[in-house]
Chain A
Amino acid sequence: MKQWLTRLIALAVVLAVVFWLWQALFPSPEHVIRNRVAKVARLISFSSNEGNLTTLSKVSSLLTYFSPDIQCSIETPDIPDAGDWTIAGREDLRNNVLSAHSMVESLRAEFIDVTVAIAPDRQTATAELTARVSLPNDKDFIVHEMKFTLKNVGGQWLITRVETVKTLG
């Protein structure tokens, strides 16, 4: 009985390790997209003591996650004087990100509750998520529901469209 139980536990451990290895070596598109979205959030975030070189490096790295024809349509009605942002293309995105760096001291972005849906053709996908942004000197954080549209370009999932979703109509 004891030997049988030991074998069962050993089998379960082996299966868990094989499953983990399989996930690590051959990640599903959903897993890849989740990782990329989390990486985008980390690259958008910046602290007050960040140097110029680090900023430029992070922004350059950030742009590689977006397609050259990226379209962003971001409505921020709850941020006074922020207006709506419409971004077309990587260069426009770079300028907007750099201007955000000059406008605020620091920023912390998180993308949570990410739901990934892969299209039947396996070439496009959407990621619906909640963006939570914290700004310095502001005890409240800004939350927005967002939708990212992604396209598989040469094996890489690039963000082609970013838009805000109106939770309350």
Chain B
Amino acid sequence: MNEPAAANVPEPSLLRIVLIGRRPRNTCVRIVVLVVACYIVFGFILLPIRIEGVSMQPTYHDRQIDFVNRLAYIKHEPRRGDVVSIMLAGRSVMYMKRIVGLPGETIAFSSGKLLVNGEILTEPYVKSQCDWEIPPVTLGTNQYYVVGDNREMPEKNHEKGIAERRRIVGKVLL
């Protein structure tokens, strides 16, 4: 009985189908779900970041886009070699560094070589030589030693040192 009436409904234009779909209500629901999902994922779980500066070269370059995985350290604590983001007063600007020292370890630089508990640490990600000299420092509980991969920089201009666990926001994803 309704068939003739349904047959009379005009087919929406191609432009309308492309823009809002055949069923606008469903399209609206999909958009809302997508916006909420993006808000949760990129606001709380995978934080988008833009890398500024050269301290992590050659592993990461200036102006590169990446993400910080905030769920990375739910099951385990940060590990040596992890590239992490470290918050300052908040999460709008963060440091991006590599963890080289774990709680309880003694870290030093001698003739540009990184020493962990007095032994040289092999660092395949470091592609340049340096002459840094940093006296030994012993890390406390919940303290990690972080440093960038670019050791060509003068030691004074390179932000590095002890990061408290509470400041580590997450692990850099890519």
Q: Are A130 and B89 in contact (CB under 8 A)?
A: yes
| Interface residues in A, total, Cβ within 8 A | 23
Which B residue sits closest to A145, measured CB to CB? B88
For window 76-120 of chain B, which residues contact chain A by CB distance below 8 Å?
86, 88-93, 95, 97
Q: Does A167 contact B (CB under 8 A)?
A: yes
Assuming the contacts A140-B52, A141-B52, asked whether A113 and B90 have C-beta atoms less than 8 A apart, the reply is yes
Whether the Cβ atoms of B91 and A113 lie closer than 8 Å is: yes
B41 to chain A, nearest CB (A): 22
Closest to B91 in A: A113
Is the CB–CB distance between B161 and A169 below 8 Å? yes
Inter-subunit contact A168/B156 (CB<8 Å)? no
Number of B residues near A (Cβ < 8 Å) is 25
Q: Is the CB of B157 within 8 A of A130?
A: no
Query: In chain B between 4 and 60, which residues have their CB closer than 8 angstroms to a CB of chain A?
Result: 52-54
Which residues of chain A from 120 to 169 have any CB-CB distance to chain B below 8 Å in the complex? Answer: 128-130, 132, 139-141, 143-146, 165-169
Contact among B53, B93, B163 with A132 in the assembled complex (CB-CB below 8 Å) = B93
Q: Is A51 an interface residue (CB 8 A)?
A: no
A143 touches B167 (CB 8 A): no
Known: A113-B93, A168-B86. 7 other contacts (CB 8 A): A130-B92, A165-B89, A167-B88, A167-B95, A167-B159, A167-B163, A168-B95
Q: List residues of A whose CB falls within 8 A of some B CB.
A: 77-78, 80, 112-115, 128-130, 132, 139-141, 143-146, 165-169
B residues with CB within 8 A of A: 52-54, 62, 86, 88-93, 95, 97, 143, 146, 154, 156-157, 159-164, 167
Q: Name 6 interchain pairs, CB-CB below 8 A, sorted by A.
A: A113-B92, A113-B93, A144-B88, A169-B143, A169-B161, A169-B162
